[in-house]
Structure 1
Amino acid sequence: MRFFIAQLFRFAWAEARSCAFAVALFAGLAAASVLPLPIPRYDALLLYAVAVAVLFRTLRWETGQETAVIAALHVVGLVFEMIKVRLGSWSYPEEAFTKVAGVPLYSGFLYAAVGSYVCAAWRIFSLRLVSYRTVPVTLVAVAIYANFITQHWWIDLRIPLALLLVLVTWGTVVHFTVGGHRYQMPLALSLTLIGFFLWVAENIATYLGAWQYPYQRETWQLVHPAKFGAWALLVSVTFVTVASWQASRGRLHLSAPATGWALPVRRVTGARHPSPTTPAVRGRGGVPAE
């Protein structure tokens, strides 16, 4: 039990470090909601988000390559926002100097925060994948991104695409390190869990006035639970972007086969950030741990 509690705290601390950029943005949103500002709130949030990004890079909490990947996701998110706002999915009702097509430029940082989390988690947890099918997963992620736009004048394919995403990630396992021990879980489950916490974060963000859905104009209401599924799908776009970058660095695949999920795989010794090719050790009873 002591080991379990210790590992739980190590995991929570690693998650908190991975979410640092997102937590900083939420702190800025909360502060901007109560403090008097000399400029429009959306403009102040843009300056704040840029300052946070510069600070993270200066303190080397993010590498230069990570910053470039996050910036690319910022652009992808900003384009998505401009299209969705134009189609009436949600709105940014406050005035600002830095609004383009009805979208404040700070909003791209909300997507960048998701990218920052995935990049940081990949580094902190030493993530590696087993049986990851790059091309099929990437194609499904692109189709998911497109469907969120085309559904406004064509049929909504979210359910078929969700099933297809499960299919192309079937057997794909994410390996990660906590306290020197390797663990694993299915990629589909990982995306689902991230989607749930993004839905929770969206409720907090809309409460703080980051953006507004049509049914929240009169008074704040809980974001519809269907958005949980939408986030679980949309996060695949971020994941495949980061995975493609990690593949170019040789930090995508694990050379050992998967044996299960949500169970410790091996004890890693001799390195704080273990190599995925570290030889497997024997588990209890002499059974190979991997």
Structure 2
Amino acid sequence: MSPANSRANSPSDDEEQAELLLIQKKKEERARREAERKAEEEAEAVAEEARLAEIRRKKEEKKREAEEKKRKEEMERRRKEEELRAAEAARKATEDAKKENERRKAEEESRAAEAAKRKTEEAREKAEMDRRMSTAALVRAQIERKEKEKLVHSPVSEASTVVVGKKRKRTVMVAMPSGDPKGDDPNPGDDDNDSDNEDDNPHSPSPKQSKAKVQCSLVPDNYPRRSKRTKLESLVASTSSQTIDDLRTNVRDLNTRINLQEEMLRYLILRVRKLEEEKREEEEEEEESEEDRVERTGDRKGKGRKE
């Protein structure tokens, strides 16, 4: 290109160059502004994220605080409930112990009253028994005294069972008069002579036959009598008498002895019952003391666990 042409084209080239520079600057400016905008957006996004994170942190913290507060409130509520239950249990235990003490006291008073009543009854029965035994002893002493007097002043009594005839048995009771049975015998100690005399003269009554009263309750009145003295009559004449009073006295003596034995048996039975009752009361007291000891041990363990 010629220099003239280059000079003629220079202004336009400068304008184009300037326009290109302006466009380039505008692009750079737009790029810079875009970069700044992006940077601002990124910064805003980061700041937004930070704000969101802070908000979330605060929410979590508030939530934790609320949960902690709720947990503390629940623990406080449970503690109060435990205290109320413990107080209620203590009150109930106190009431139960009081009722149990009252019940035991009432039972002890009842047992004491029953024991006093039983002792009074036993004392009354013993006094009655002593009185009866004393009366029986007096009666027995009187009977023995009467027996001794009868042994001194009365003849010996006996009952004999003899054979009458061939196949009949008769019980014969002979009552001799009071006094010395040998006093009217002209020949005391000589029974053989008397029997010989009676055999020689059976129709003449001997001194024994004249004073002896023969009672044959089982021998009929129409029984044939012999003229000669029989073996039965000889046996009846030689036996002693026993009166109805003597028999009644012996019966009374036996009854008195039986009553004494019965009284002694009743006394022994009462004594055995009393000993059994005392033993049972001692066993019950031992069981109650053992139960009290076990309850006290349990109460101490419960108090230790509560503490």
Q: Please, what TM-score do these two structures have when normalized by structure 2?
A: 0.21
Q: Flag the structure with higher helix content.
A: 2
Relative contact order (alpha carbons < 8 A, sep ≥ 6): 1 or 2 greater?
A: 1
Bigger Cα Rg: 2
Q: Please, what TM-score do these two structures have when normalized by structure 1?
A: 0.21
